[in-house]
Amino acid sequence: MAKSGSISLKLIEGVKDITSKVFKAIAKKLNKTISSSKASILEDLRNEVRDWLNDEQVIRDLRGSGTLSAEVGLPKGQASSAADAIVEAVIESLDMTFKKIDNNLSGGLSIGIQPVDFRNVLGIGDATIATEKGQTLSWLRWLLESGNRIIVRDYNIEYGSYGPRSRSGQGAIMVKSGKKGWRMPSQYSGTMDDNFITRAFEGRESEISKIISKRVKSKI
């Protein structure tokens, strides 16, 4: 009866060396893949961000039949162009930095969205309104920062058939009243930490990850 043979294997390299080479190969592949995917990822993100912002009530109402433009005294045409400018300003703020992945697989993409002081948005041409009396109304800053506080004391918005007296052309004027004063309507108001722009990005982390993953996987 024939005897069974035996086979023995000997690793020429240690596990640590093998792991190091595997990590090095993975890092090289990822660096090449991510570098070639950056432009596509950024374009996909910009398209998604545009949709997220366009879905916000503030943007919808500036473009449509909501009362926001009447409340702040923006003519409809100016309100619509302001909405477009706001969306584009946020989109243009998107920034992507790629830190090369090292042999310990440390590194990757960092995505920056929207300066925390909103200077890009507050710098658009329609961010303020000049009144006939030469006053400057910072309506967009009020919208982003003022929350529920009173902005114009002893006055409130009244709707009616006011024709040319209505700065927005939508039958709304500011009149002296016995009430405490005018504040941004609650459906629009925001603070530096919680406004229509920050809300557009709430809970979007997984969607952003999917956009990046999809583009990277398509290159592997």
Specify the pLDDT at position 12.
63
**Which tokens in the block code for residue 200?**
């557009």
Structure confidence at residue 55 (pLDDT) = 96
pLDDT-derived band at 199, boundaries 50, 70, 90: very high
CA distance 126 to 137: 11
- pLDDT interval class at 182 (50, 70, 90): confident
Residue, of 178 and 59, whose pLDDT is higher: 59
Q: Please report how the helices 205-219 and 15-54 are oriented relative to each other, as an axis angle in degrees rounded to 10.
A: 120
Residues 124 and 34: their CA atoms lie apart, in Å, by 33
Residue 166 scores a pLDDT above 70: no
pLDDT at 67: 86
pLDDT more than 90, % of the chain: 54
Mean pLDDT of the chain: 86
Q: Comparing 1-15, 16-30, 53-67, 111-125, which segment has the lowest mean pLDDT?
A: 1-15
Residue-wise pLDDT for 143-165, tens only, equals 999 999 998 887 777 776 656 55
- Which residue's entry shows tokens 């003519």? 75
Q: Provide mean pLDDT across the span 175-198.
A: 89
The neighbour count for residue 113, using CB atoms within 10 Å, is 18
pLDDT band for position 140 (cuts 50, 70, 90) = very high
Q: Summarize the confidence of residues 76-100 as an average pLDDT.
A: 93
Q: What pLDDT does 19 receive?
A: 86
Say what the pLDDT of residue 10 is.
62
pLDDT bracket for residue 9 (50, 70, 90) = low
User: For residue range 37-78, what is the model confidence (pLDDT) as tens digits?
Assistant: 999 999 999 999 999 999 999 999 999 878 888 888 888 788
Domain boundaries, the chain: 40-149+185-205
Helix (H) or strand (E) holding 98: strand 95-99
From CA 7, how far away is CA 149, in angstroms rounded? Answer: 82
